[in-house]
Amino acid sequence: MDENSPKKATWQSRWPALSALLALGGLYAALPSSLLIGGTRWFPLVVISALIVPVLITYYQGAHTVNQVLGYILNGVVTIFLIISLALLIRALPSHKEMPQELLMSAAALWLSNILVFASWYWRLDAGGPHKRALRGDHSQGAFLFPQMTMAPERRHAAGLHEWSPNFIDYLFLAFNTSTAFSPTDVPVLSRWAKVLMMLQSIISLLVIALLAARAVNIL
């Protein structure tokens, strides 16, 4: 594959997203078995790894529609894991069965998982997804108004950003700010679906921080 080919550039923008999904499997494995589906520690990581394989195959075969659908399924699966683990942890609070150290570690793992899950959704959905963004080259429209999109054309060209397009790190930064400040900070939200997703992410982050972490600190 040529170093300067579009597919090479697209792959360079995709591997951080796939790495984030594998990291999610590792974070779920760090949770107590009582907070996992079936109590099996490595089940989420195995499922995520198994789904990544056809995603990679369809990408290299150029089956972009199938690849996009598989990406939605993969994101949906990690979202389900997050919601179930969060629900099980909240249910465990009144029983006082979890040690405070376990609660803190679980809260940290779920908070980080929340960031990675929604960063994956923003990356997957914005402006038609990574493949369509790569075809356009210059990112001038989408669900989020990145600072580079507001620059005058001559300034963007002078800064070497005339073909700028957001990659996974940009969406990860957006998701991190949403979970930390409960707001998009420097990236305004333009689409209704993006606003709904950001509200959901903020609610989950608030639950983890206000309910779980505060409970753990209270009983230390």
For residue 216, what pLDDT is reported? 60
CB burial of residue 93 (10 Å; 0-12, 13-18, 19+) = middle
Contact 134, 10 (CB under 8 A): yes
- Distance from CA of residue 166 to its chain's centroid? 14
- Counted domains in the chain: 1
Distances (CA, A) of 117 to 112, 136, 172: 9, 25, 9
For residue 198, what pLDDT is reported? 92
For residue 8, what pLDDT is reported? 45
Say if 178 falls within a structural domain. yes
Q: Where are the alpha helices (DSSP H) in 1-152?
A: 6-29, 43-61, 64-92, 100-125, 130-136
Give the pLDDT confidence of 152-188 residue by residue, as tens digits.
777 767 766 667 788 899 999 999 999 888 777 788 8
CB burial of residue 20 (10 Å; 0-12, 13-18, 19+) = buried
Domain range spanning residue 204? 6-218
For residue 181, what pLDDT is reported? 80
CB burial of residue 107 (10 Å; 0-12, 13-18, 19+) = buried
Give the pLDDT confidence of 61-87 residue by residue, as tens digits.
989 899 999 999 999 999 999 998 888
For residue 11, what pLDDT is reported? 56
Per run of 10 residues, the mean pLDDT along the chain (length 220 residues) is: 45 81 90 74 89 92 91 94 86 69 81 94 90 74 82 71 81 92 80 92 86 63
Phi, psi (rounded to 5 degrees) for 144 = -125, 140
Helices then strands, each counted (H, E), the chain: 9, 0
For residue 218, what pLDDT is reported? 65
Say if 48 falls within a structural domain. yes
CA distance 136 to 101: 48
Say if 1 falls within a structural domain. no
Say if 114 falls within a structural domain. yes
